[in-house]
Amino acid sequence: MRVIAALVFLLSLPASAIACSCMPPFATTFLAPSDGSTDVPTNARVWIGGGALSVDYEIDPDDLPNLWLETDAGDLVPSTTTRLLSAWHLVAVITPDVDLAPDTVHVAWLEMNDAEAPVALVEFRTGLDADTEAPAVPTTLKYTVYADSGLPPDGNSCGPTDGVSIEVDSSETLVVSDLLGRATLDTDAVDGDSPDFRVQDEGWIWLTRGGCSNAWPDVAIGDQAEWQLGAFDVAGNFSGGSALETAPITIIEANATQAGCSDGSCSAAGGSSVGLLLLPLVALIRRRT
């Protein structure tokens, strides 16, 4: 069965290649499990990127369209729908109340609030077993510091951009971030807000003001970025948090708008990609009460 909604993956590019070509907020489209998948864990959740929820991306995160899961025989799978939200991304998550029937084809459906007929989003076949193993903790491969607002003239075609972007080493379904303790995620329910997150191997996480994100709207030159990362697999197992990492938002020189850091070393911006404290992701795992 073909996926009805077109799968358009947003590839985050380095600043020099962006040229202000950002897609609209919530436009990133992805589906997990992917259409036609087999041997899917029986405790899988269905992950639906914002672009699959609406053809025009005019989506209210607090008023999602109707989503549900059925077997190919038409039997409804009792489930709950939650949502993960960042400044630029929206993902709806269908969580079945109990494990799915093994070796059975399942179909996720969407019905727009004003639509005449539901749309089949994705079809997959379960395997025989559940997956309860936590995925690997994601790591920062490198990061880029931006301090454009203090640089005359501005070197960024999207306007002044301050903050940090992060290239992540992870192939899991979704990587979330925490910035300065601002994430409000329930990692058991897979629900809540994260400054920015990355779906599958989409690209970078952007903790910036301006550019293609507004995850850090109150950042100022001289601030210290502090972030942690965590990953979910398709079953919703959570990795726990990465080491705390830091980088100063510091002007390098006129017209030099970024500094790349990797492998524990950094250029003239003065940051460090080495996390010194191996901490649980306390700020990222704020349990809702």
What is 102-160 written as a DSSP string? TT-EEEEEEE-TT-SS-EEEEEEEE-SS---PPPPPPEEEEEEEEEGGGSSSP--TTS-
Q: How many CA atoms lie within 13 A of 247 on its CB side?
A: 37
Q: What is the pLDDT of residue 131?
A: 98
Residue 89 sits in the same domain as residue 193: no
Residue 71 sits in the same domain as residue 164: no
Q: What is the pLDDT of residue 130?
A: 98
Residue 95, in any domain of the structure:
yes
| CA 177 distance to own-chain centroid | 8
Q: List, in order, residues 6 or more apart from 121 with CB less than 8 Å away.
A: 3, 4, 5, 31, 48, 52, 108, 109, 110
Domain of residue 231, CATH code: 2.60.40
Q: What is the pLDDT of residue 98?
A: 97
Residue 152 sits in the same domain as residue 52: no
Residue 2, in any domain of the structure:
no
Residue 198 sits in the same domain as residue 222: yes
Residue 202 sits in the same domain as residue 114: no
Q: What is the pLDDT of residue 263?
A: 40
Domain boundary, last residue among 71, 101, 126: 126
CA–CA dist 219, 162 (Å, integer):
7
Q: What is the pLDDT of residue 113?
A: 67
Residue 77, in any domain of the structure:
yes
Residue 155 sits in the same domain as residue 231: yes
Host domain of residue 73: 15-126
Residue 238, in any domain of the structure:
yes
Q: What are phi and psi of 140, to 5 degrees?
A: -85, 120
Domain of residue 108, CATH code: 2.60.40.3780
Residue 62, in any domain of the structure:
yes
CA–CA dist 41, 232 (Å, integer):
14
Residue 145, both tokens: 């510091």
Among 110, 129, 112, smallest CA distance to 121 is for 110
Residue 191, in any domain of the structure:
yes
Residue 164 sits in the same domain as residue 221: yes
CB-based contact 166:205 (threshold 8 Å):
yes
Residue 160, in any domain of the structure:
yes
Residue 25 sits in the same domain as residue 75: yes
Name the domain count of the chain.
2
Domain boundary, last residue among 102, 126, 150: 126
Residue 153 sits in the same domain as residue 55: no
Q: Please list the ranges in the chain whose pLDDT falls under 70.
A: 1-21, 55-57, 113-116, 151-158, 252-289
Residue 224, in any domain of the structure:
yes
Q: What is the pLDDT of residue 216?
A: 94
CB-based contact 242:230 (threshold 8 Å):
yes
Domain boundary, last residue among 126, 158, 176: 126
Residue 64 sits in the same domain as residue 19: yes
CA–CA dist 105, 100 (Å, integer):
10
CB-based contact 270:156 (threshold 8 Å):
no
Name the pTM for this structure: 0.80
Q: What is the pLDDT of residue 71?
A: 98
Residue 107 sits in the same domain as residue 201: no
Residue 116 sits in the same domain as residue 47: yes
